[in-house]
Amino acid sequence: MNRAIIILLLLALKSFSTEKSEDVVEKLVAEMSKLGQVAESVKMNETFQPYIVSVFNGSELESIGVNNLQEALELVPGVDIATNNMDNKRAIFRGSNPFAYGQSKLFIDGIEVNNLFFDSYGSYLSMPIEMIKRIEVTRGPGSVSDGVNAYAGSIRVITYAEHFKGEDKSNKVLFKRGSYLYRMAGFTYRYKKDDFFMFSDIYFQKNDKSLPAGNDALSTGVYGTTNIPLSKSGNVPLWMKNYAVGLQFRYKDFRIIGRTLYDERGSAYGINGALPPKNNFAKFPGSYLQIAYDKILNSYHFVVKGGWNDSAFKSSSKFLPDGFDAGGGVTYPNGFYGDLEARQRTFYQTSSFEYRGFKEHVFNVGYYLEQSKTYKIVTNTTNRLTGIGMVDYSETYPFFDPKAKRNAYRIFLQDRYRFSDVWSFQCGINIEKVSHINTQYNPRIVAVYKNDPVNIYKIIYSRSSRMPSWQELYTINNHAIVGNRNLKPEVVNAYEMAYIHKFSVDSFLQLNLFYLHNSDQINNINSENQYRNSGSSNIYGMEAELKTPIGLHGTFYANYSYAYGKEDHKYPIANAARHMAKSYYLHQFTDKISVGIVGKYVGSKERVWYDYRSKLDSYTTMDISAGYHDRRSGFRIQLSAKNVFDATVKYPSPPYNYDDDFTQEGRTVMLTLTKAF
């Protein structure tokens, strides 16, 4: 570690060699502070790690006007955002299966938060950026934490529970107001005395958003020609109520981490593609609690964890319009309503052991045990026989299998081998067995070459698998979404190469090439709407990422990504942009006043081969923000304008759904007030 600090210090000195002496001293002090934090947290610089990683600092994201986790992910190379009829958004990495959830994993302070029903983390994408200290995004598959298989990528959110000596104040209160009657309030609080540590973050936010949509799915004839006249257009309800409470306690080697999240939103585009009323809603609540023992003894490091995770899906909505003809002589004169609820609970226990007793090796071995089951199903719908009145079908005709349960077992092994001063290797494997699914063996092999601390080269091979989500497996009695118990896991074999040039501690150029072979891809884009392992895809591309200072007061960041592939060796990958470019520039006019500009370009997207629509148009957006930050008092005010030129932004809808796709926000504004103490 001392050697790493010396190397990074030399890099910092090199970057200052052409600056004035007084500026050198000022920046050198700042750089040394950062280096001290790196040493104290026992973290090497991310560029030396055996992954393709992008790291974003929360405070810098605040300064350029980023509002939440989703907007931060939109800046990551190769990452795009997609959504569905319930506006349950997901991050798409490198164009890999835009129709599926679970392709990537989200970790908050080291705990995976993907829910069980969808295998998604859409409810956390609205997490305010002021609650986030750092975001680390790993592109590509491989073992990330406790042997978890992150199929296409992983996202690590680090909150202000992490704190080092010399850092700015970590306690804060904040308030926001913005477009669509958005309002938000929250705070973070950290307390430490002797061996006891406590941290809490709490936020509440809501809005009254609605956005225009073209004719709904009935206009396409997917529900029969007799129902085409019932099609509607208008504003879709996208309002939101969202709050979360996070708590952490630590005493010596023991720690407890918990979080509860409540997420309620308008029914958006309707589960079945019919425009719903404004007051209809869907809920995605979730909670988790983990207890851990973490002990280091000389060359040994033991970690024992256990916990539970509750997640749920609840919807109360009008699924089909008045007068809908269901066939067979059944008509719903007042429409078809449904109150649906599915609750799942997971218990898990995991342990890992690390040994550093050998000079050139670091060994890791561990296991993970999980038991999940559905413990509540509610299915109240309009009478399916008469079309009038509500009937409880929870036992006779549930929308989800009430007996769904699953066990999972994992073993993970890893060796990090420092072969010489310039070569290091990582070899590991995840072995996973899930109920009713064949055992999966997912190896990972990495070579890192660094002849000097400025130029780093990486070669990576990894295999990963994504288990089918519970929605894909166990949804029943719904003609719009049909589950399939015979699904196999998706599998990817990934080959990656990367080159990184370090200009200084905080500036770099990163280039990487990748080739992905995906097999047994899961989607329900077929005439029966059934989830199936529908085929394979081959995707290749590149990503370039640059961060550099501009003079003494500016920071410039930019990336470009290219991804192209074919499904089943025939059709271009659908719903994925081939070209994307993102950038931002932050200028610090004084030590208190800054201005940030963010630009994003997302290229056009092809449709699935049988979709009759033309490809989805590209779009370009620009955001501008200005802020005043008095670090001495801790007061900050930020004014941001998003999509200032009011560009048309759309996410693709499936075939025979909303033909005009899912329109996103135009120009919006946000005012943020923060007080740190």
pLDDT tens column, 40-76: 343 445 666 788 999 999 999 999 999 999 999 999 9
Q: What number is the average pLDDT over the span 341-370?
A: 94
Q: Is the pLDDT reported for residue 251 higher than 80?
A: yes
- Residue type at 126? S
User: Residue 102's pLDDT is what?
Assistant: 87
Q: What pLDDT, on the 0 to 100 scale, is given for residue 51?
A: 85
List all residues 6 or more positions away from 1 whose beta carbon is below 8 Å from its beta carbon. Answer: 39, 42, 44
Q: What is the pLDDT of residues 579-603, one digit of tens each?
A: 999 999 999 999 999 999 999 999 9
The residues, any chain, with a CB within 8 Å of residue 353's CB and separated by 6 or more, are 300, 301, 302, 303, 364, 365, 366
Residue 81 bridge partners (DSSP): 91
Backbone angles phi, psi at 4, to 5 degrees: -60, -40
Q: What is the pLDDT of residues 622-644, one digit of tens each?
A: 999 999 999 899 999 999 999 99
What is the chain's Cα-based Rg?
25
Long-range (24+ apart) CB contacts under 8 A made by 218-224 are 218/273, 218/274, 218/321, 219/659, 220/656, 220/657, 220/659, 221/656, 222/273, 222/656, 222/657, 223/320, 223/324, 224/325, 224/327
Confidence tier at 38 by pLDDT (50, 70, 90): very low
Tell which wins on pLDDT, 243 or 567: 243
Q: In this model, does residue 13 exceed pLDDT 60? A: no
Per-residue pLDDT at 667 exceeds 90: yes
Q: Using alpha carbons, list the distances in angstroms from residue 361 to 295, 429, 446, 645.
A: 20, 16, 14, 54
Q: How far apart are CA 102 and CA 534, in angstroms?
A: 17
Predicted local distance difference test score (pLDDT) of residue 47:
64
pLDDT band at 254 (very low <50, low <70, confident <90, very high): very high
More confident: 668 or 568: 668
The pLDDT value recorded for residue 333 is 96
Residue 154: which H helix or E strand, with range?
A: strand 153-159
Residue 173: pLDDT band (50, 70, 90) is: very high
Could you tell me how far CA 395 lies from the centroid of its own chain?
Answer: 35
Token pair belonging to 589: 């006019």
Kindly list the strands in the beta sheet with 111-112, ordered across the sheet, starting from the edge strand earlier in the chain: 52-57, 132-139, 153-159, 104-108, 111-112
Contact 77, 561 (CB under 8 A): yes
The mean pLDDT of the chain is: 90
Fold of 45-676: Maltoporin; Chain A (2.40.170)
Which of the pair, 14 or 586, is modelled with greater confidence? 586
The answer, yes or no, to whether residue 16 has pLDDT greater than 70, is: no
Residue type, 288: Y
For the cut 90, the answer to whether the pLDDT of residue 525 exceeds it is: no
- Largest Cα separation within the chain, whole Å, is 87
Rounded Cα–Cα distance for residues 525 and 472 (Å): 12
